[in-house]
Amino acid sequence: MPKIKDITCHKVLNSRSEWTIETRVELDDGAVGTQTVPDGASTGENEALHLEAQKAAAVVNDPLKDLLVSKNPFNQLEIDTLMIDMDGTPNKRVLGGNSILSVSLAVSNAAAKSLNLQLFEYLHVLYKNNSVFKPAYSKMGSINFPTPVFNILNGGKHADNDLSFQEFMVIPAKTTPYPKQLEMGVFVYNSLHKLLVSQGYESGVGDEGGFAPQGFTTKKALTTIKQAVEEVRVDGEKNNRLVLGKDLFLGMDVAAESFHVGDRYEIKEESLKLDHAQLSSYYGDLLQQYPIIYLEDPFYENDIEGWEHFYQNYKQKVMIVADDLVVTNAKYLKAAIKKNLASAVIIKPNQVGTVSETLDFIRLAKSADMSTIVSHRSGDTPEDTFISDLAVAVEADFIKSGSPARGERVAKYNRLLDIFDNFFGS
Ligand code: 2PG
Ligand code: MG
């Protein structure tokens, strides 16, 4: 069995010109895994704490290296548990969620390389608690491949415009093969670009590559996206159109925490100050007018009553997605399941800090029949495509990686193309 020989870490930049870290794990058989970590802007209160990059790098280079050198890289649970125990806090505030995560992911990368497996194959083995290391998927044909959720119009904390809601998304029908789904996202993105320019709007983008026009309301955003879909001519052919509500659907990450003030939700661009019952009706109105199938963080994480009532009334009409509420942590997910608050969950490894805890969370979500959406962060790097492999490994229902533009966003979509074409194609 190979052993961990060396661990090093240094500062690198992310897509928002903020510093993050990159960790390199080397095994004594020569296999190397490297890993950067992403950062969020709209974060849940219970996320693992990220240390400032220089401090995080120092933690990896010293205590974490000393802890893990000569350990077995295939025992991911042992590696993660050692780091969790050394930290000793519920939100990893001593060693930092970013330091711990970079090592946890880099170890899994190095282990996969050592076994000559694709990362998604190795993660699948870990996910299934399978001790036999053999490729699980290669040339297997059909699995539940993750459907991309494209965030093409940005607001909230991800843009400098006046939209309160954070993400406006298009979601291709699940029955469409991944390469076609990606093409659809590209057609709609380019169509929206053209439409905004023709209407005299700025075409600047937000953190996740979606357009960030000024002077929009929620309805204006949804209507404009609808029009952009209607104007698509696939491959320039007059009669080859996309139909909203059939080929593609709409979704929103409201990220309600960012406009929650006191006991109200302030939608400033419409001069509204709503309580949670009024906000539910606001959503109900939108659901009647647009083919919205996905609604993420419709209430802020401590407005449990808001979540409860909305779930009771709307669970049949829309997928109710929890992000800040559960922060990829099985402890918070258990509480949400008990209270019946959501029908789907976001999975962001950096919210919790290790591969093992992320996989536990996914197993729990699936056992409760929840849909799963593996997600990037708004501050991300093109070197990091871990979430693409993770989404395939656990057969997540969806993957969120922003718009089909900007290097750090398309890197994840391109990695999925690589996996699809080379391992799942005909
Ligand atoms: C979200 C994410 C990703 P951030 O809220 O779902 O889209 O944003 O990384 O800023 O938390
Ligand atoms: Mg979110």
Q: What is the pLDDT of residues 10-28, one digit of tens each?
A: 999 999 999 999 999 999 9
Q: How many residues does the chain have?
A: 426
Total count of domains within the chain: 2
Closest atom of ligand 1 relative to the 324 alpha carbon? 5
Judged against a pLDDT cut of 90, whether residue 138 lies above it is answered with no
6-15: string of b/e by CB count within 10 Å (b at 16+)? ebebeeeebb
**Pair (320, 420) in one structural domain:** yes
Q: What is the pLDDT of residues 88-109, one digit of tens each?
A: 999 999 999 999 999 999 999 9
Looking at residue 183, its amino acid is E
> Which pLDDT band holds residue 140 (cuts at 50, 70, 90)?
very low
Q: Is 324 in the pocket of ligand 1 (CB under 6 A)?
A: no
Examine the fold and report which residue of 79, 98, 128 is the final residue of a domain before the chain moves on. Answer: 128
Residue 191: name the closest of 207, 177, 162, 170 by CA.
170
CA distances from 319 to 270, 293, 295 (A): 25, 6, 6
400 is in an annotated binding site: yes
Q: Give a yes or no: residue 18 inside a domain.
A: yes
Query: How far is residue 331's CA from residue 48's CA, in Å, rounded to a whole number?
Result: 13
Do residues 285 and 217 touch, judged by C-beta distance below 8 A?
no
Q: What pLDDT was estimated at residue 312?
A: 98
Q: Is 16 in the pocket of ligand 1 (CB under 6 A)?
A: no
**Pair (68, 152) in one structural domain:** no
Q: What pLDDT was estimated at residue 186?
A: 98
**Pair (350, 256) in one structural domain:** yes
Q: Give a yes or no: residue 140 inside a domain.
A: no
Query: How far is residue 186's CA from residue 193's CA, in Å, rounded to a whole number?
Result: 11
Q: Give a yes or no: residue 25 inside a domain.
A: yes
> Which pLDDT band holds residue 211 (cuts at 50, 70, 90)?
very high
Question: What pTM value is reported for the model?
Answer: 0.97
The preferred substitution site among 15, 42, 50, 372 for testing ligand 1, maximizing ligand atoms within 8 Å of CB, is 42
Q: What is the pLDDT of residues 258-268, one digit of tens each?
A: 999 999 999 99
Q: What pLDDT was estimated at residue 236?
A: 83
CA angle 381, 92, 111 (to 5 degrees): 55
Range of the domain at 12: 4-128
- Continuous segment of H or E residues that includes residue 361: helix 355-367
The mean pLDDT of 248-265, rounded to a whole number, is 97
How many C-beta atoms lie closer than 10 Å to residue 334's C-beta?
13
Closest atom of ligand 1 relative to the 255 alpha carbon? 5
The mean pLDDT of 319-338, rounded to a whole number, is 98
- The CATH number covering residue 196 comes to 3.20.20.120
Structure tokens at 96: 């930092």
Do residues 29 and 114 touch, judged by C-beta distance below 8 A?
yes
Closest-approaching ligand to the CA atom of 296: 2
124 is in an annotated binding site: no
Q: Is 377 in the pocket of ligand 1 (CB under 6 A)?
A: yes
Q: What pLDDT was estimated at residue 142?
A: 55
Q: Give a yes or no: residue 135 inside a domain.
A: no
- Continuous segment of H or E residues that includes residue 308: helix 304-314
Query: How far is residue 19's CA from residue 207's CA, in Å, rounded to a whole number?
Result: 15
**348 is a catalytic site residue:** yes
Catalytic choice (269, 348, 357, 412): 348
**Pair (87, 163) in one structural domain:** no
> Which pLDDT band holds residue 426 (cuts at 50, 70, 90)?
low
Judged against a pLDDT cut of 60, whether residue 132 lies above it is answered with no
Q: Give a yes or no: residue 39 inside a domain.
A: yes
Residue 384: name the closest of 375, 392, 371, 393 by CA.
375
Query: How far is residue 283's CA from residue 318's CA, in Å, rounded to a whole number?
Result: 10
**Pair (280, 233) in one structural domain:** yes
> Hey, is 3 helix, strand or coil?
coil
Using the mean position of ligand 1's atoms as its centre, give its distance from the Cα of residue 17 in Å. 17
Using the mean position of ligand 1's atoms as its centre, give its distance from the Cα of residue 297 in Å. 10
How many C-beta atoms lie closer than 10 Å to residue 273's C-beta?
13
Do residues 102 and 37 touch, judged by C-beta distance below 8 A?
yes
Q: What pLDDT was estimated at residue 83?
A: 98
Q: Whose CA is nearest to atom 4 of ligand 1?
A: 40
**Pair (171, 283) in one structural domain:** yes
Q: Whose CA is nearest to atom 5 of ligand 1?
A: 42
**Pair (379, 238) in one structural domain:** yes
Q: What pLDDT was estimated at residue 144?
A: 86
376 is in an annotated binding site: yes
Q: Give a yes or no: residue 222 inside a domain.
A: yes
**Pair (192, 312) in one structural domain:** yes
Pairing type for strands 167-172 and 260-261 reads unpaired
Q: Is 358 in the pocket of ligand 1 (CB under 6 A)?
A: no
**Pair (280, 367) in one structural domain:** yes
- The CATH number covering residue 35 comes to 3.30.390.10
Query: How far is residue 389's CA from residue 396's CA, in Å, rounded to a whole number?
Result: 10
276 is in an annotated binding site: no
**Pair (191, 337) in one structural domain:** yes
Q: Looking up tokens 């490729």, which residue turns up?
A: 135
